[in-house]
Chain A
Amino acid sequence: MENEKHHIVSYSTYLLILALLLVLTVVSVAVTQINLGTLTVTIALFIAGIKSALVLAIFMHLKFDNKMYAFMAIGVVLLIGIMIFITFLDYLYR
């Protein structure tokens, strides 16, 4: 029983993404060894964000699957983001 068409991702695509992820890891380690003050946190989390987007889109097939999965995942990420934002509003202005 075939429910939906399956996209076969080539090995080379996965290897390319892996190489990108490893390079980004090295970059984030290198950048955080330099003292940039508060900018360090922003850069490290920005790179982690790019890495997780690559894993979600390619490794977890969100790019190729029914868009419903991507919407659900983005929804949860937004929810966590909103929770962090609201919690900080509370701590900053109490």
Chain B
Amino acid sequence: METHRDDTASKIGMWLFLLTEMLLFGGLFIVYSIYRYKNQEAFHQAAHELDVVVGTVNTAILLISSATVAMSISAIQLKNKKFALFLLGTTIVLGLVFLVNKYFEWGIKIQHHIYPGSEVMAQRGQGDILFFGLYYFMTGLHALHIIIGLVFIAVVFARIWNDKISHDNFALHENAGLYWHLVDLIWIFLFPLFYLIT
């Protein structure tokens, strides 16, 4: 049975979705920049409380995982199924490591009673509340995207395993890659804004 396939349409659809994702985070970046402009000193001090080392390690992890996903698409086009599976597996492991790091990072902050609505936060200034509110919301939304991306890549992994995705039918694989790169792209901006600019 011949099934109809339109790879170009599915890719355009994926891109349109990614563009709305960019607008979603773009809106948050506007909120961040205005609040930063209005509370420069507080944002400056609060950013010192975030661990640059953890942030840098997580940046490297995401960049490497993006490269492995991109390479896995080349591997599937070159009919190298095993290598494609290995690269996608690596991406999934790296994504999980990112989440574990995030878990500990948030955990330590929450142990120190730094989270929206805590009594310690209530005693601090408006700028601190805004900074950490945005920190939790934006990195949390980003972490949610990581989880969705991991599920997406796991589905692609299973379909390559079952030979449902192959060298002449990899539109889904490509779209999963695009999604993962977008998650990476957002982190490229989150990292300097929250960890570096102090």
Interface residue from A28, A76, A88 paired with B23 (Cβ < 8 Å)? A76
Mask: chain A, 36-78; 1 = CB below 8 Å from B; 0 = not: 0000110011011001100110111000000011001100110
Give the complex CA separation of A44 and B35 in angstroms. Answer: 18
The reply to whether B66 and A55 form a contact with Cβ atoms under 8 Å apart is yes
Interface residue from A80, A83, A91 paired with B37 (Cβ < 8 Å)? A91
B6 interface contact, C-beta 8 A: yes
Interface residue from B6, B27, B67, B178 paired with A14 (Cβ < 8 Å)? B67
Number of interface residues of B (CB under 8 A): 47
The reply to whether B23 and A29 form a contact with Cβ atoms under 8 Å apart is no
Number of interface residues of A (CB under 8 A): 47
Give the residues in chain B near A79, CB-CB below 8 Å.
23, 26
List residues of chain B with CB under 8 Å of any chain A CB: 5-8, 11-12, 15-16, 19, 22-23, 26-27, 29-30, 33-34, 37-38, 52, 56, 59-60, 63-64, 66-67, 69-71, 74, 77-78, 168, 177-178, 181-182, 184-185, 188-189, 191-192, 196-198
The 8 closest A-B CB pairs, nearest first, are A80-B26, A18-B67, A44-B192, A32-B196, A3-B8, A59-B70, A76-B19, A3-B7
List residues of chain A with CB under 8 Å of any chain B CB: 1-4, 6, 8-11, 14-15, 17-18, 21-22, 25-26, 28-29, 32-33, 40-41, 44-45, 47-48, 51-52, 55-56, 58-60, 68-69, 72-73, 76-77, 79-80, 83-84, 87-88, 91
